Amino acid sequence: MKSEGRNGYQTFTDDMASASTRKRQLEAGLNHALTLNEMELVYQPQISLKSGRVTGVEALLRWRSGKLGLVAPNEFIPLAEESGMIVPIGEWVLKTACREGRALQLEMGRALTIAVNISPRQFQQDALPKTVRETLEENELDPASLELEITENILVSDSPKAMTILEKVRSLGVRVAIDDFGTGFSSMSYIMRFRVDRLKIDQSFVRDMAVNEDSLAVTSAVIALAAGLHITVVAEGVESEAHRDLLASKGCDEAQGYFYSAPVPIERMRELIRGLEVS
């Protein structure tokens, strides 16, 4: 820094200042995002590599801020997590995904899975199992149709409370998927202890597997692990036919990614599913 002289230093502090201004604006905006109706969900289909059928959809949150424009989840979710706003926002996500997902099931006449991302912070809330149970009841949604995506760090975190809450949620019959699998710190023993229902191979491995032997090795190992545990495995970030074919040849059950579709509003999902299934 010093060797860059006054200008380098100035730029550095300006960047710091604007980063903290941005952070404050985001935090202030997040507090009102729900009441201002600025949050919405988009959905991305999950496709069976064996049948080509759509098995379910993952709900992904979008924040269209009146003041800041469209803000990416990777920017605002960590802040919402830090401030605790993720708790009411996460509850809104759960309720909205169950309502919209149930309507889609009825429209399509089949039991599509509705996958919802749940933050670690939500697993510190004693009320979570009750909220999940009531949401299922309100929407007459089969618990087996709801899948909660958690990151493996929840399993490793030394939090007995999170574990109790996870067990309670599981006992409702709701399914649990480990998101971004392979990027965290869990081991086989955690996965076996909590008998999760599904693993999601992180998109970084899928992206690199055609060009990087290690990524291909991890991808193959996760597929083999899931087969050995008799649970299903979903690859995310599938962007090409080559990705799809390689995953299918390794025995991966399902795929999700831009190759099939970017996330879309629920109104477009019916048409999207039909299009994916005729081709």
Interacting residues with Ca ion (CB under 5 A)? 117, 149, 179-180
Listing DSSP states for 63-89 in one string gives EEETTTEEE-HHHHHHHHHHHSTHHHH
Can you say whether residue 48 is alpha, beta or left, with left for phi > 0 and alpha for psi between -120 and 50 degrees? beta
Among 108, 58, 79, 65, smallest CA distance to 263 is for 58
Residues in 34-73 at the binding interface with ligand C2E, rule: CB under 6 A: 44, 60-61, 72-73
Q: The tokens of 251 are what?
A: 């025995």
- Measured in whole angstroms, how far is the alpha carbon of residue 108 from the centre of its chain? 23
Pairing of strands 198-201, 146-151: unpaired
Residue 168 C-beta: closest distance to Ca ion, Å: 21
Q: Does 228 bind ligand C2E (CB under 6 A)?
A: no
Which does residue 263 bind out of Ca ion, ligand C2E, none, counting CB within 5 to 8 angstroms by kind? ligand C2E
Q: Which residue has 């935090």 as its token pair?
A: 27
Residue 36 C-beta: closest distance to ligand C2E, Å: 17
Q: Does 77 bind ligand C2E (CB under 6 A)?
A: yes
Q: Does 93 bind ligand C2E (CB under 6 A)?
A: yes
Q: What is the CA radius of gyration of the chain?
A: 20
Q: 142 or 239, CB closer to ligand C2E? A: 239
Residue 237 C-beta: closest distance to ligand C2E, Å: 4
Residue 78 C-beta: closest distance to ligand C2E, Å: 9
> By CB under 6 A, which span of 158-166, 215-223, 235-243, 245-253 interacts with ligand C2E?
235-243
**Alpha helices for 41-142 (secondary structure H):** 73-83, 86-108, 128-138
Residues in 156-175 at the binding interface with ligand C2E, rule: CB under 6 A: none
Residues in 124-163 at the binding interface with ligand C2E, rule: CB under 6 A: none
Among 224, 216, 217, 218, smallest CA distance to 180 is for 218
Task: Give, in degrees to the nearest 5, the angle at Cα 109 between 108 and 112.
Answer: 70
How many residues are recorded in the chain?
A: 279
Q: 44 or 220, CB closer to ligand C2E? A: 44
Q: Summarize as ranges the residues that interact with ligand C2E (CB under 6 A).
A: 44, 60-61, 72-74, 77, 90, 93, 117, 119, 179-180, 203, 236-239, 257-258, 263
